[in-house]
Structure 1
C-alpha cells in the first residue's frame, strides 16, 4: 500500500466511512486524530528517551522487571532465530526491558524497537504497545495498521500486564522489523505473548502474597497444579486482596461488574463471587486429586481450584510482615492506618514515592481520605508550599490565567505555578478539569514547564502535582491520565478496611480528649455499618460518640440509639439521620447537642436548616 493510499484511508475513517480494519485499529486511529491531534501525513522518527529518563523509568519498574525477566527470556528462547524483538514497556509506553538480535541493533534502534523507546499512542500513533495500553487488551498491529507510515513495515503484538489490584501496569510486546504479509501470521505470537503475561501475573501474585491464602483456578484439572489460568489472594477473613487479570475477569463476570472495574472487588468476600465455604479451603489443597477440586461461580460457571496455604513466618518475624514495614514508615504516613495489610502496602508505596518528583494520582470514594494522604506525602517529601485547588474552579478562563499566568501587550502576569516552585499542588477531583487545562498540565508533566496564556515559550518550574479522583480515567485525556499515574494509589472503602475499629476508637478518643474503651455492643454496631461516607462519616460519628462520654466511659444505650439499628450494607444512616438521632438523644436540647458534638449552637441550627430538620429543637 502506498503512503498516499494509507493517508487517504485514515482520512476516510475520520470522515466516518467504514474501513476494512480490525475495530481496535479504527478506534486507535480515531484517538490519534481526535484526542492526540496527530497528523497522518507527518513522518515521525523513533523517540528514545534520555539516559536519565530511562534510568528513572527503570527504577520505577524495578520490581516488575525482576518478576517479568524469566518469562521474557523464556519467550525469547521460544522464538530464537526468527528475528523477533521483545519489549517490556511501563505504563507510559517507555521500553524498560528489551531483548533483540545484536546484529540488527542499528536497524532496531532506528525503528524504535529498542531500550528506552517511547511507544505511547500519543507519541507514536497507532502501535501495539500504545493501543494495548489504551485499550487494556491483547492485540496485533500489523504493518499498515500503524497510524504513522514510518512504521508500516513493522508487525507488532502486545498484551497488557495488570497488577494484583486490577490496575494496568505495563505491556509486553513481540515485534518484527518485517514479517509475512498476512496479519494472521502473527496469531501464534499473540498466543505466546498472552501466555507469558499470564505467567508473569501469576508470579507476581505469588510473590506478593506468600503469607496469604492464594486460590489458583483453571478450566481443566489437567494443568491446574502446574500451569493455572488465574489466581485470587485472600486475607484471613476470606476477602479478596489481589487477583490476576484472568481472575478479575472471572470475578467481575460473577458479580455483574464491567471487567475494567475489577479494582472495585478488592476487599469484598470471596463468597460474593464463588460458591465456596472459606472454612473448607483445606479441601482444595493438593491433598485431594485435582479432578475433585471443583467449584462454581455465582453465575454458574465451573472451575477447578488449587488452594495454597499461607507460608509460615520465620519465628523472628512478626505475624504480618506488611505491618512490620508500616512501623518503619515516616510518622505522617504511619498515623493513617492500623492493622490493615492493604493499607500497609499502599502506605509503603506512598513512602517510596514521597521523596521523588513523580506525579501521584490518589483514587477513592468520597470521604476515603484522599486529601489527608496527599498532605502526608507532601510532609514526608520536605517540599515547600502545599496548595490545594478544586479542579472545577479552573473552568473559567480567568481562573486559568490565575494558575498559568498571562502574557499580553508586553505585560507579564505571573500565575500560581510560577510562585509555587519547589512546592506541591494538589488538584482535587481532577476529573472536573476542562480539557484545555488537562492539555496544558499534561505538557507540564511531560516537559517540566508550562506555557502562560498568550505565551509561546514554556516556563520551567519545579513542581510536584498530586491529583485526587473519585472516577479514575473515565473523564481524563489518556495522555494526561498516563502521566499522572507516575504513582497510582487507590484508597479502599472504609467498610473494607480491617482497621475500621482501630480508626473508630482513635477518632473517638481524639474527639473526647481521653482514652476510652468502646463496649463490645458499640464495636459490633460500628462494624456492621456500611459507611458510605467513609472516613468523613466516621469522623462525624466519632465526634457524636465523644459527646456522649460520661466520666471515662461511653454509655451503651445512648450510643446505640445514636448509631441506630444494624443496617444492610447498602444504606447506613446519613449525616442528617445521625444529627436527628443525636438531637433526640439530647432530649431536643440544642445546647446539649452542640456540646456533645463539640460545636456551637449556630452550627447545629445551620445543619438543621440544611437537612430540612427545622423545628426539631
Structure 2
C-alpha cells in the first residue's frame, strides 16, 4: 500500500513515541496519547504496518446482531432520525456492539466503495485492540463520548476520517453499544466536530432511555427532570421501582442521582442501595399517588442528595395499576383551607403536611419565613381548618402597635386604669381570642417587659388586665410568626429563651417565593383572588406570566400581589401584558432608581422624591411625553403609568366630560 507524505509523517510520530524519543507529541490530547500508548505497549500494534479493514462474515455478523437484537429493535428509530440529520453533511452512521463490531449502518450508496475501503461499513471491527485509536474503540475502552479527528487515529490509513462516538449503557451502567457518526472528509479544525459530539451524545441517551423503558415496561418507573416542562417529553432521570419503593434499575440520569446520594451518605454495606423514598423527600404513598395528584400528573419533590427540586411522574405498566390506585384510596382527607396554599412545591408540601397534623392540637406554633411569604395566611388557614374554627381568630402585629400601647392592647384595662383610656375600660386582644386563636405576628419585635407577662399568660392561661386585681381565665391557642433569626435575638439578650421554647411547640418554615417550584400556581391564585376582589376579569398574557416567573421576588407573595394589582390598575385593556407590570418585573432585576415598590391602591403623592424628579423632567420637556420617554429610555405607556401613579397631569389636559 503506497503511503503519502502525511501518512508517513504520522507513522514517524508514533514510532518516536514508541521508542521514547517523543514522550508527549505536541498538540495531541491526553486521551489520545493514552490510547496511542496502549496501542504501542499493550496491543503491540506496529504503526509502520497499517492493518487492512477487518469485516466479519455474514454468519459471524448475524451472531453479533442476534446478541443485541432487543437493542437493535428499540434503537432503529433513533438511528434513522440521527442519520437523517447528518446525512446531508457527508456523515455515515455506525452502531456497534460492546466488542466494537458494526451491527447497524446507515451510509451513502454513491460512496460505497470508499466507505468499504475505510472500514465504515456493516460488520467492520472497530475494537481498539485491532483498529487502534479510533472513536468507537477508545469510547469502548474509556466508557466516554469522544471525537477522534483525522491524525488522532492510530492507523495511518484512517487519518483522513473524523469520527465521533458515544456509549450506550445498559440499566446497570455497563457499556452495551456505541453510537458513531463518521465522515471521509472534514475541516482540519477539531472544533468543527463540536456539534457532532453533542448530537451523538443526545441520541445515545435517547436510545438508552428507550431501551430502559422497553426493558422495564412491566415495572413502575419514576421519570423526573429539574424542569417540569420536560418530564413527559424527555425526562432526564428514569428509575424502575418495586411497589415497596425499592430500586430495581436506573438510567444514566437516575444512576447519577443514586451515586450522588451514596457519596453524601456512604452505604452501610457493599450491596445496599437507597430506595425511592430515600432518593426523594417523600413517602411511598406520595410517589405511588402521583397519577391522581393533578392535571399534568406531575409532582415536585426535593432530591435529598443535592437539595434540588425534581418534578416527578409515575409510569405504570399497562393492566397493573393497583399500587397507584391503592395510594390514591389511602390519600389524606382534603383540607381546603390548607390545600389551596400550595400546589406541589416540596417545601410547602412538608409545611402543610405538618400543619394538617397540628390543626386540631393546642400546641403553640411558630411560623418563620421572609417578609411577605404569607405567614398570617398560613396561621389563619391553620385556625380555619381546626377545632377552633368557629371561635375568634385575633391577629396582632407586634411591630405595628406603639410600645406604649401594646400592653393595654394585649391585656386590656379596667375603667380608670390610666388617663386617656376608655371610660368603660377595654377587653384586651388576648381576652377577645378566648376559645380561639391568638396570632402574634412579628413576635421578635415584642418588648422584653411584655415578654415576661406573655410568658405568664402561656404558663397559667390567665390574663391580668391593667388595673385589675383578679386574673381572668382564657382558653387560647397561640400562633406566632417572625422573619427574624430568633436564636440571634436570644443570644443578643433581646428575646427570652424560656418564652421562645413556650412559643415554639412546633415550627413551620415558609419558603421564599423565588425558591418555590409552584410559582405558576401562586401567580394564578393571586391573579384569581384579585379579580374576584375587584369584580372584573383581566387576562394574564403569556409574556407577563413569563416575566412574573423569572423575577426573584424579594418581597415574596406580598410583592407579587402588589405587582398584579398595579398591572390591573394601569392596564389600558382587560389584558395584562409584560409592559403593564412594574418595571422591576419587566427587567427581572433590581428596581430602577425612579420607581419604588408599587402600592396601586394608594398612589404616591406628587411631592414624593420620585414623583418630583418625574415632574421636573416633564416641565423641562414642556410636557412632551415622547421626549421624556426617550430621555429615560422607557416606553411612552410607562411614562403615562408613572404620571398616573404620582398624580401628575399636564397643564393643558382636558378631563373627559
Query: Shorter-chain-normalised TM-score: which range?
Result: 0.3 to 0.5
**TM-score when normalising by structure 1:** 0.47
**TM-score when normalising by structure 2:** 0.45
Higher RCO, Cα 8 Å, sep 6+: 1
For the pair shown, the structure with the greater C-alpha radius of gyration is 2
